[in-house]
């Protein structure tokens, strides 16, 4: 999740996004020229929600019969722009860090949409959930918590610490970890929703159970945005 820092209305957002399309000529090793397109598809407005799909072509390489073969592909990342408490947030459904062949990351999409809307990177920024808020979220219903990660650890040679289980709140080890670090990541069951969620201080949300995309976005709108600093 990211925040749009500029004060703009939804009409401006839609007008800028609906006209966006870029093409780039690319020469593959065979000598053939192909066109790589970056565009926004399926743009919709429903109330105070703008949604669409960020689509970007790329050329990948793989070995086939001991030869490196280049082939074009397309990656897509659905996104939503929503309002909460007079602020506007961008939600991107994509990996936050590189995994496998996935190249289209949340930060890449946020920076590109920032350029499309405001001709510069930096108008759409990362958001933060205070460590104290994550701690309250965990301690308010410890039985629902699966994992708790700590970072900013002041013990030399230790970068992160992790505790697993629903009974850690009452342990001396948990209290000791809080003295030496901050809660960075919590995996818990949102019991009213029946889903298992992981959330970091930088507001990266990972779904660990089955859910529809619509239900996940609704959960973020109703339960996560209010946690953001």
**Measured between alpha carbons, how far is 29 from 111 in angstroms, rounded to an integer?**
30
pLDDT at 213 over 70: yes
Q: Are residues 15 and 121 in the same domain?
A: yes
73 plus 40 within the same structural domain: yes
Query: What are the pLDDT digits (tens) for 115-132?
Result: 999 999 999 999 999 999
Look at residues 126, 144, 176 and tell me which one is the last residue of a structural domain. 126
Average pLDDT, the chain: 90
Residue 155: Cβ-neighbour burial (10 angstroms; 0-12, 13-18, 19+): exposed
> 150 and 104 in one domain?
no
Query: pLDDT (tens digit, 9 = 90+) per residue, 131-188?
Result: 999 999 888 888 899 999 999 999 999 999 999 988 898 899 999 999 999 999 999 9
| 27: three-class secondary structure by DSSP | strand
Last residue of a domain, which of 126, 142, 171? 126
Residues 115 and 136 in one domain: no
Same domain? For 84 and 138 the reply is no
Which three-class secondary structure state does DSSP give residue 19?
coil
Domain with 109, as residue range(s), is 2-126
Q: Give the phi and the psi of residue 193 in degrees, each rounded to 5.
A: -100, -20
Pair 141, 75 in one domain = no
Q: Are residues 137 and 113 in the same domain?
A: no
Shared domain for 115 and 26, answered yes or no, is yes
How much of the chain exceeds pLDDT 90, in percent? 67
Structural domain ending residue among the three candidates 91, 126, 161:
126
Both 94 and 196 in one domain: the answer is no
Contacts of 62 (CB under 8 A, 6+ apart): 68, 69, 71
Q: Look at residues 63, 66, 225 and name the one whose alpha carbon lies nearest to residue 133.
A: 225
**DSSP conformation letters of 26-42:** EE-TTS-EEEEEEEEEE
Query: In terms of DSSP bridges, do strands 33-46 and 21-27 run parallel, antiparallel, or are they unpaired?
Result: antiparallel
Q: How many domains does the chain have?
A: 2
- pLDDT tens-place string over residues 26-65: 888 777 888 999 999 999 999 889 999 999 998 888 888 8
Asked if 6 and 116 sit in the same domain, the reply is yes
| Residues 188, 104 share a domain | no
The count of other CB atoms within 10 Å of the CB of residue 148 is 25
Statement: residue 99 has pLDDT above 70? no
Q: What is the 3-state secondary structure (H, E, C) of 123-185?
A: CEEECCCCHHHHHHHHHCCHHHEEEEEEECCCCCCCCCEEEECCCHHHCHHHHHHHHHCEEEE
pLDDT beyond 80 at 104: no
> So what's the pLDDT on residue 52?
96
Query: DSSP 3-state assignment of 204?
Result: coil
Considering the domain architecture, whether residues 10 and 110 belong to the same structural domain is answered as yes
d(CA 171, CA 163): 11
């Amino acid at each position: 999740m990211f925040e749009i820092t500029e004060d703009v209305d939804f009409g401006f957002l839609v007008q800028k996004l609906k006209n966006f399309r870029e093409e780039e000529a690319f020469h593959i090793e065979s000598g053939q020229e192909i066109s790589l397109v970056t565009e926004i598809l399926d743009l919709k407005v429903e109330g105070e929600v703008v949604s669409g799909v960020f689509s970007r072509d790329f050329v990948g390489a793989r070995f086939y019969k001991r030869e490196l073969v280049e082939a074009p592909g397309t990656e897509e990342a659905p996104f939503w722009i929503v309002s909460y408490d007079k602020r506007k947030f961008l939600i991107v459904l994509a990996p936050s860090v590189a995994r496998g062949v996935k190249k289209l990351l949340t930060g890449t999409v946020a920076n590109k949409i920032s350029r499309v809307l405001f001709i510069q990177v930096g108008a759409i920024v990362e958001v933060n959930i205070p460590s104290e808020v994550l701690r309250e979220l965990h301690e308010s219903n410890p039985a629902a918590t699966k994992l708790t990660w700590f970072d900013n650890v002041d013990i030399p040679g230790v970068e992160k610490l992790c505790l697993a289980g629903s009974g850690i709140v009452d342990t001396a080890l948990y209290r000791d970890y809080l003295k030496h670090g901050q809660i960075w990541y919590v995996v818990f069951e949102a019991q009213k929703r029946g889903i298992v969620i992981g959330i970091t201080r930088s507001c990266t949300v990972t779904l660990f159970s089955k859910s529809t995309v619509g239900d996940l976005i609704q959960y973020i709108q109703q339960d996560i945005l209010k946690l953001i600093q």
